[in-house]
Amino acid sequence: MAYQVSVFAENKPGKIERVTTILAAKAINILAITISDAGDYGIIKLLLNNPEEGADALKNAGLPASLKEVVAVKVPDKPGGLAGIAQMLHLKGINVEDAYGFITDKGHEAIFVFQVQNVSHVESIIRSEGITVVSDRELYMI
């Protein structure tokens, strides 16, 4: 299973610098990042090449960090590529709680990363529909 690291952070200058400096000191690469604003606080979600070590480094530095299972799938990097997967998820009754995506350097391919309630079950459904689920090892090597 793939994991993202979530960090609860006060919404003030320096928060991204602190997180990224801690990760850089451990030679941990950020593959994707998203930040959600919730007033005085927010959540920084990170897809890292080594999520366990990244979460530990952030916790050891006093930041509230946690690991969350996510699903990552390959999406054709073309108009409608994500729409096809979104339609399949809808037809199968799968609720996407949170998501982000990014383009790879492999050409004509993107990665869609999303949170759901039952990761194993959703991955099974997705595979049965012929959609490529990206393994944790493959994801962390991007």
Could you report the per-residue pLDDT of 74-110, keeping only the tens digit for each? 999 999 999 999 999 999 999 999 999 998 876 788 9
Same domain, 40 and 52: yes
Instruction: Calculate mean pLDDT across residues 2-23.
Output: 94
Beta strands 109-115; 41-48: pairing state: unpaired
Q: What is the pTM of this model?
A: 0.89
Better-predicted residue by pLDDT, 60 or 141: 60
pLDDT score of 58 more than 90: yes
Grade residue 142 by pLDDT with cuts at 50, 70 and 90.
confident
pLDDT at residue 98, rounded to an integer: 93
Better-predicted residue by pLDDT, 107 or 142: 142
pLDDT at residue 108, rounded to an integer: 80
Q: Is 69 in contact with 6 (CB distance < 8 Å)?
A: no
Q: What is the CATH number of the domain that holds 127?
A: 3.30.70.260
Q: Which of 124, 119, 129 is nearest to 75 (CA)?
A: 129
Residue 93: count other Cβ atoms within 10 Å of its Cβ.
Answer: 7
Same domain, 63 and 98: no
Same domain, 86 and 126: yes
Report d(CA 122, CA 130) in Å as an integer: 13
Same domain, 106 and 131: yes
Host domain of residue 36 = 2-68
Q: What is the CATH number of the domain that holds 39?
A: 3.30.2130.10
Same domain, 73 and 135: yes
The count of domains in the chain is 2
Instruction: Calculate mean pLDDT across residues 21-26.
Output: 98
pLDDT at residue 132, rounded to an integer: 94
Same domain, 74 and 47: no
pLDDT at residue 5, rounded to an integer: 98
